[in-house]
Chain A
Amino acid sequence: MRILEAAVNSGAVRASTWVMAAGTALKAMTMPTAGDIAAEEFSRVVERHRPQIFRFLLSSTRDVDLAETLTQECFLKAHRNWSSFRGESSAMTWLMRIAINLQKDHWRNRRMQFWRTTRTNSVDLDEASEWLPSGESSVEQQLLARERVKQVWTAVKGLSERQRTVFLLRYVEEQELSEIATATGLSEGTVKAHLSRAVGRVRLELGGKR
């Protein structure tokens, strides 16, 4: 099709009848099929949700390379199963569910390979806390905010996998409890309980370092 388009474009100087004939053929060939529409729709979903999925995986793993790899895998899996997506939940929730499962699988496989457990590319908490935008606040306020962020990172690090996932989905991705419940496959009550424990841990960390 592209070849034909190129041929039409380059053939501007040629006889107009030929161009018209080619144009007619092009029109007949560019009729979008169901597959084309699905592909376009999927590419829009990727464009819209990819940064969010990456952000969630980055905050969960604190490893840029791993987050990129898992994001790629997430969208690859989503692409394979795009035809089975019925729209019962939002595309974002569906993608987030895939990302959470991939992350779980990754850590499970990693545990199996015991020699790999000692090696991690996760950045340390100091480095993770340095990304705070300065804004218009004073240096003291910035330092205070950085210290608080570090404390939150410390608390998040100490959370269980589920608590961490729920906490990040709520406070970083700003999802509703119902969305978190759908994405994690937990009931809303369980989500609330995990969230409460996670917040309690963060509060404890913030209070303990005062």
Chain B
Amino acid sequence: MSGVEQQDNNMDKITNRFEDGAEDAELGQALESFKQCVDAWSDAAYSRPRTVEQTVRRRSWRLAVGWALGCVLVAGSVSGGLFERQHQIELKQRANRERAAEQQKQVQQQQARAQVTDEDLLSDVDSDVSRQVPSAMEPLAQMMSVDETK
């Protein structure tokens, strides 16, 4: 028997075994049930809602959350900056007001001081004037000065 013939015989044996297997009732039932199972699973999996949509939805949800957080962050930074700027302006204004008040106070003090000096001056003048001898008393004053020389 040649090698090719022997191979054919082996193949026939295998085929016969396979056909015997197909005739096996229990095996046949098991294979049929297996096919039904695969069909049912495949049909269910094939007609299920695609995960792509879920992914897109999840992605869009994440995107929305990201945007919202970003917006909150930007708004916070901007409002923080504005608040800080406003605070600085208020501080400056308060300092200016205080400085102005100080200056005004100094002016008032100077004015008050100047006022006091004038009054003093006037009183001095008054006293000087009061010490001057009126012309009507001139002869008497001369007599007093003669007596003093004597």
Q: Which residues of A contact B (CB under 8 A)?
A: 51, 54-55, 58-59, 64-65, 67-68, 128-129, 131-133, 145-146, 148-149, 151-153, 171-172, 174, 189, 192-193, 195-196, 199-200, 202-203, 206
Chain B residues whose CB sits within 8 angstroms of the CB of A203 once the complex forms: 21, 24, 27
Are A202 and B31 in contact, with the CB atoms below 8 A?
yes
> Given the known A-B contacts A65-B51, A195-B18, A199-B18, are A149 and B30 also in contact in the complex, defined by CB atoms under 8 Å?
yes
A58–B40 CB distance below 8 A: no
8 sample A-B contacts, Cβ–Cβ < 8 Å, listed by A number: A55-B42, A128-B37, A132-B37, A148-B29, A171-B31, A192-B15, A196-B14, A199-B18
Chain B residues, Cβ within 8 Å of A58: 38, 41-42, 45
Give the chain A neighbours of B44 by CB distance below 8 A: 131
Q: How far is the CB of B55 from chain A (nearest CB, A)?
A: 11
B33 part of interface (Cβ distance < 8 Å): yes
Tell me the bound Cα distance from A54 to B11 in angstroms.
Answer: 32
The prevalent SS among residues of B at the interface is: helix
A51–B45 Cα distance when bound, in Å, is: 10
* In the complex with contacts A55-B39, A59-B38, A172-B38, A202-B30 CB distance below 8 A: yes
Closest A residue to B27 by CB, please name it.
A203
* Interface of chain B residues 29 through 69 with chain A (CB within 8 A): 29-31, 33-46, 48, 51
**A199: B residues at CB distance < 8 A:** 17-18, 21-22, 27
Are B14 and A152 neighbours in the complex by a CB distance under 8 Å? no
Tell whether, in the assembled complex, residue A153 and residue B18 are in contact, meaning their CB atoms are under 8 Å apart. Answer: no
Known: A148-B29, A199-B21. A153 touches B14 (CB 8 A): no
New A-B pairs, 5, CB < 8 Å, besides A193-B11, A203-B24: A55-B38, A152-B33, A192-B18, A196-B14, A202-B30
Question: Interface residue count for B (Cβ, 8 Å)?
Answer: 30
Distance, CA A49 to CA B97, complexed state (A)? 87
Question: Which listed residue, A59, A131, A206, touches B26 by the CB 8 Å rule?
Answer: A206
Q: Are A128 and B42 in contact (CB under 8 A)?
A: no
Q: Which residue of A lies closest to B12 (CB)?
A: A192
CA distance A193 to B43 in the complex (A): 31
Q: B33 → chain A, closest Cβ, in Å?
A: 5
Q: How far is the CA of A68 from the CA of B45 in the complex (A)?
A: 9
**A-B interface, 4 closest residue pairs, ranked by CB to CB distance from nearest:** A131-B41, A55-B42, A148-B30, A152-B34
Chain B residue with the shortest CB-CB distance to A203: B27
Contacts of B21 in A (CB 8 A): 196, 199-200, 203
In the complex, which residues of chain A have a beta carbon less than 8 angstroms from the beta carbon of B37?
A: 128-129, 131-132, 149
Instruction: Give A55 to B22 CA distance when docked, in angstroms.
Output: 23
Distance between B95 CB and nearest chain A CB, rounded to angstroms: 66
Residues B34 and A153 in contact, CB atoms below 8 Å apart: yes
Q: Is the CB of A171 within 8 A of B14?
A: no
Q: B21, B27, B33 — which one has the most chain A CB atoms within 10 A of its CB? A: B33
